[in-house]
Amino acid sequence: MDPSASETLIQGATCVVTMDDDRRVLRDADVLIRAGAIAAVGQGLTTTGVVVSGKHTMVTPGLVNTHHHLYQNLTRAVPGAQDALLFGWLQTLYPIWERFTPADMHLSTQLGLAELALSGCTLTADHLYLFPNGARLDDTIAAAQEVGLRFQPTRGAMSIGQSDGGLPPDSLVEREAAILEDMIRVVDTFHDPSDAAMIRVGLAPCSPFSVSRDLMRNTALLARDKGVMLHTHLAENDEDIAYSLEKFGCRPGQYAQDLGWVGSDVWHAHCVKLDGEEIDLFAKTRTGVAHCPCSNCRLGSGIAPIRAMRDAGVPVGLGVDGSASSDMASMINETRQAMLLQRVAKGANAMSAYEALELATRGGADVLGRPECGRIMPGKRADLAIWDTRTASGSGSWDPAALVLAGAATVKHLFVEGRQIVADGQVTTLDLPDLITRHSARAAELASASG
């Protein structure tokens, strides 16, 4: 029997942070799940199905990760890349990544999704832009279907190698005609536009410095013909801005606009260096931003102007980025870091814990074009994170804001489309200790081969 077809009642939660349209926080409340959706929220609810005790717990919408590179968790803390800026970091890691196999892509995706699930994430995007040794987007999609998270993979690409003045080695770039052909294939094969979709596919040339203008423009045309979303990196650091000015004669925002890369069907990663005019452009066009605070700190890229973006009306979500640039992939940790960075930049009242949690839930869902996610409301999808309030770090807290302020680490339970993916802090859909053993062994092989 499909678990999402039956009822599950989360009964008597200490509080439910709904992130509904009124941003209600309910005390001593229940959440009823039926057929993969939220059927009711309130008190005194009953069911003939499964009952999960909410005693001493806080329930939030599942967290939404808007930017990741799941393949990268096989290369965490690589010497030579630990203290490098973005471009140098990439040049150190490309030679390692070019040895990856389809099995590596599958293995790293499984590990990364399990890591995200334990941090409260129920919906994640992924940006895969290199396909060495026969790897395909299919490898990551198969892994996601096994783990059970809601997955929004993007078919990325690089087409300008070192011999043409680009950063990546020629072995990692593809012909643009072949890229577009495979983009069509993966959308036709895997994309599901329905509200209950577990897999949606986007199109995502890696960055303005790794693909041509033509590929950017043609990908935008293709995405709109197919009705799928667009994603890339933009304005990540000072090097990025300098490259755009030198090569394109304009700032990244203008470049994106000229090529059709603005609109509610587009979201850009990082955007650390957007200026006021670019923020206004994104607000006017409803172009989304994936804010990756830990990665921006790790690579020394700067503090993204999220306060200014939010005030202008730019849609903003949070992203963990790849585990080679932020090393850990914890959505709840990113939530706290997002709040702290805005306070460092703009003062202690620049961002509340509740606003940070909003970015991590309904904010990210909206950026990914999934307004049916990221809220606890009747009719929305049953993606829920349930947090134990009786932890050492949370003990003594007076308010649900402690989830962000006091630094929660892992969820107690996690539901995706009504299916329990984490139970009592353990992933239910795979053997995580065995996965960690295999993943660690493969990382050691890659390290040994790299000297």
Domains in the chain: boundaries:
3-62+372-427, 63-367
Average of per-residue pLDDT values in the chain: 95
- Beta strand segments in 158-304, E: 202-205, 230-234, 266-270, 288-291
Cα three-residue angle 295-339-129, rounded to 5 degrees: 25
State pLDDT tens for residues 319-333: 999 998 888 999 999
What pLDDT digit, counting tens, does each position of 25-34 carry? 999 999 999 9
Judge whether residue 6 has pLDDT over 90: no
DSSP for residue 367: H
Any idea how long the chain is?
A: 451
18 burial level (CB within 10 Å; 0-12, 13-18, 19+): buried
Tell me: pLDDT of 1 over 50.
Answer: no
Q: How far apart are CA 339 and CA 228, in angstroms?
A: 31
pLDDT exceeds cutoff 60 at 198:
yes
Q: Is the pTM of this model over 0.85?
A: yes
pLDDT average, residue stretch 149-170: 93
pLDDT-derived band at 347 (thresholds 50, 70, 90) equals very high
d(CA 95, CA 111): 22
> What does the block give as tokens for 316?
């903003």
Q: Which helix (H) or strand (E) holds 177?
A: helix 176-190
Enter the CATH code of domain 3-62+372-427.
2.30.40.10
Yes or no: domain 63-367 corresponds to CATH 3.20.20.140: yes
The answer to whether 3-62+372-427 and 63-367 have equal CATH topology is no
Q: What is the structure's pLDDT at 4? A: 45
